[in-house]
């Protein structure tokens, strides 16, 4: 599965400003397809789906007026990038690769929903119905492995035993396969705590605040100690020494009230920043219940001949020599 906008953005800036005879930018399309071929060669998937953001506002814009305002400015400056989405949609239509784009939600939410439908939730027993490709094996349904190509760390919250991320590190190369251990290595928290981390720290790229004064190190400490956003505030709310009127009185907190190791300054910041933190958590949480239907049979990766034909029509001769698709694997993109 490909996070279309994230990959297109990375591909566009990784290549020179290529244009066709009509002056239209083409670097994003070429780079996107180049990155996709590299991933196919390395991961050898059996299925493929592309997900793009819908151009209209999402429920997050309605929830918070400042959401992604900095990206709107970037969108105006980089219209060349986003103008290539329609070109890519045409390419994948020719290849018979499904493209998902849902009004009112982001690509992340569509990806989250597809991951839930295809791989389920690793925290609960899950079996795929036959129409989703589950295979009989001793009476059991074999789970699918889903790999998402993206550069977006927000999607780390989706990672579990059957969902991984394939994240390019430099331009179009040096991609890393991110599993649960790699999420903890990179972020200092587990996949299930990514949303709580965002709630505390905020996100400058999406322009939501988090809790003012709480940085990454403090957030990691809080989550390691108290589990999640609600756990942090549960301890504070039950402590007899944390109301605002108690600050500055020299009270010493300890084992009794459960806040050992937290300074009055940190607790005060948490109390003052609860509303913005709670809002940030809602903004950061990826939906997994977007109303979409899927047919896995229509998500099969295109054969070599079809890809070669499309690349030839586009004049991408260098990509034609890189078409390598091996089947009989157990991964679903």
- Interatomic CA distance for residues 157 and 193, integer angstroms: 7
**pLDDT computed for residue 137 by the predictor:** 39
| pTM of the predicted model as reported, rounded to 2 decimal places | 0.83
pLDDT digits (tens, 9 = 90+) for 20-31: 666 666 778 888
C-alpha–C-alpha distance, residues 276 and 67, integer Å = 13
pLDDT of res. 172: 60
- CB-based contacts of 193: which residues, under 8 Å, 6+ apart? 223, 227, 228
The pLDDT value given to residue 249: 40
CATH for 196-283 is 1.10.150.20
pLDDT of residue 238: 65
Measure the CA dihedral 298/292/87/306, to 10°: 0
pLDDT at residue 121 is higher than 80: no
Residue ranges matching CATH 3.40.50.1010 in the chain = 2-184+286-332
Query: What is the mean predicted confidence (pLDDT) over 289-308?
Result: 92
Mean predicted lDDT score pLDDT of the chain: 80
Q: Determine contact, residues 70/208, Cβ cutoff 8 Å.
A: no
User: How many alpha carbons lie under 13 Å from residue 290 in its C-beta half-sphere?
Assistant: 27
Give pLDDT tens digits for 182-196: 999 999 999 999 999
Tokens coding 272: 């003052």
Look at domain 2-184+286-332 and name its CATH class: alpha beta
Which ranges in the chain are annotated with CATH 1.10.150.20?
196-283
Q: Which residues lie closer than 8 Å to 107 by C-beta, 6 or more apart?
A: 3, 4, 5, 6, 51, 52, 53, 100, 101
- Across 73-80, average pLDDT: 55
């Amino acid at each position: 599965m490909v996070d279309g906008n994230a990959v297109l953005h990375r591909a566009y800036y990784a290549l020179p400003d290529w244009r066709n005879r009509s002056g239209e930018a083409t670097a994003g399309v070429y780079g996107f397809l180049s990155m996709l071929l590299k991933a196919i060669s390395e991961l050898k998937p059996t299925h493929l789906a592309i997900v793009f953001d819908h151009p209209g506002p999402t429920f997050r814009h309605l929830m918070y007026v400042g959401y992604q305002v900095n990206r709107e400015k970037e969108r105006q400056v980089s219209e060349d990038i986003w103008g290539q989405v329609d070109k890519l949609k045409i390419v994948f239509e020719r290849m018979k690769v499904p493209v998902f784009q849902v009004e009112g939600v982001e690509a992340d939410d569509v990806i989250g929903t597809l991951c839930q439908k295809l791989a389920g939730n690793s925290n609960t027993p899950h079996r795929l119905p036959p129409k989703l490709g589950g295979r009989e094996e001793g009476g059991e349904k074999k789970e699918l492995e889903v790999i998402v190509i993206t550069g977006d760390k927000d999607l780390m919250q989706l990672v579990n035993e059957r969902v991984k991320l394939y994240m390019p590190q430099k331009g179009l190369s040096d991609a890393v396969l991110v599993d649960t251990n790699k999420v903890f290595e990179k972020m200092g928290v587990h996949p299930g705590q990514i949303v709580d981390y965002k709630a505390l720290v905020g996100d400058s790229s999406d322009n939501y605040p988090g809790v003012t004064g709480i940085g990454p190190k403090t957030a990691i400490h809080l989550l390691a100690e108290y589990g999640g956003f609600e756990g942090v505030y549960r301890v504070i709310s039950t402590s007899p020494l944390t109301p605002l009127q108690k600050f500055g009185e020299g009270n010493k907190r300890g084992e009794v009230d459960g806040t050992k190791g937290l300074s009055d300054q940190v607790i005060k910041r948490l109390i003052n920043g609860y509303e913005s933190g709670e809002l940030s958590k809602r903004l950061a949480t990826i939906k997994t219940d977007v109303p979409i239907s899927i047919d896995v049979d229509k998500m099969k990766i295109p054969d070599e001949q079809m890809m070669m034909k499309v690349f030839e029509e586009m004049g991408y001769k260098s990509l034609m020599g890189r078409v390598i698709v091996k089947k009989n694997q157990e991964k679903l993109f």
